[in-house]
């Protein structure tokens, strides 16, 4: 019986060594593979998150730089407008005067023919009266200018010299010096 018991114990140890050890080795292999897959997934997710974060930061930087450039351009324009404010107003108003006169005279351009009836009374009669009326219409332009700008045309024109004096002048070489 001792031989039989020894054989059973030997077989048991052999089964443990072959079956259980193999199962333990397989379990460890599966755990190692699962751990590696888990780590790979984490690393990929962190990489994607980092790429998205970097792209967002780059886009934000572009938006910031664009806004900063636009703000600088607006500041430059504002400084230029402040510096040349009177000149700009003068330029806009003076260059707009022909359009104002054109608008004032447009009704006259639609007149097909003029019949002058003169009684002979008054300082001007006939064709002289017509040209006098047109002159009076044109004489209203400075009053219109004053109403639009809040400044008399003569006052603005008197400042033209002042505007020119504020502009920086280029240095001129002195004659006779080498």
3-state DSSP call for residue 115? Answer: coil
What is the reported pLDDT for 120?
Answer: 64
Under the banding of pLDDT at 50, 70 and 90, the label for residue 53 is: very high
What is the reported pLDDT for 17?
Answer: 78
3-state DSSP call for residue 174? Answer: coil
- Could you read off the pLDDT of 71-113 as tens digits, one per residue? 999 988 888 777 666 666 667 777 877 887 788 778 877 878 8
Q: What is the dihedral of CA 136, 138, 139, 143, to 10 degrees?
A: 120
Distance separating alpha carbons of residues 55 and 48, to the nearest angstrom: 11
Closest CA to 92 of 104, 102, 81, 103: 81
Q: How confident is the model over 138-149, as a mean pLDDT? A: 77
Q: How confident is the model over 29-56, as a mean pLDDT? A: 94
Q: Which two structure tokens, joined as six digits, stand for 120?
A: 């002979």
Is residue 178's pLDDT more than 50?
no
Q: How confident is the model over 165-177, as a mean pLDDT? A: 53
Closest CA to 91 of 156, 150, 147: 156
Is residue 34's pLDDT more than 90?
yes
Residue 145 burial (CB count, 10 A): 19
The answer to whether 60 and 67 are in contact (CB under 8 A) is no
- Could you read off the pLDDT of 114-141 as tens digits, one per residue? 777 766 666 666 667 777 777 887 788 7
What is the reported pLDDT for 70?
Answer: 94
Residue 90 burial (CB count, 10 A): 19
């Amino acid at each position: 019986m001792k031989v039989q018991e020894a054989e059973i114990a030997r077989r048991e140890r052999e089964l443990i060594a072959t079956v259980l050890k193999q199962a333990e080795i397989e379990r460890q292999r599966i755990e190692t593979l699962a751990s590696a897959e888990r780590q790979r997934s984490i690393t990929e997710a962190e990489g994607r998150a980092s790429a998205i974060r970097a792209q967002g930061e780059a886009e934000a930087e572009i938006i910031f730089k664009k806004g900063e450039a636009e703000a600088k351009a607006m500041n430059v324009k504002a400084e230029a407008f402040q510096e040349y404010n009177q000149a700009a107003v003068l330029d806009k108003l003076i260059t707009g005067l022909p359009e104002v006169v054109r608008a004032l005279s447009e009704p006259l351009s639609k007149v097909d023919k003029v019949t002058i009836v003169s009684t002979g009374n008054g300082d001007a009669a006939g064709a002289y009266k017509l040209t006098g009326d047109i002159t009076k219409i044109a004489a209203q332009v400075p009053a219109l200018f004053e109403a639009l700008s809040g400044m008399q045309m003569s006052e603005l024109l008197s400042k033209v010299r002042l505007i020119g004096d504020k502009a920086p002048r280029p240095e001129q070489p002195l004659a006779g010096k080498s």
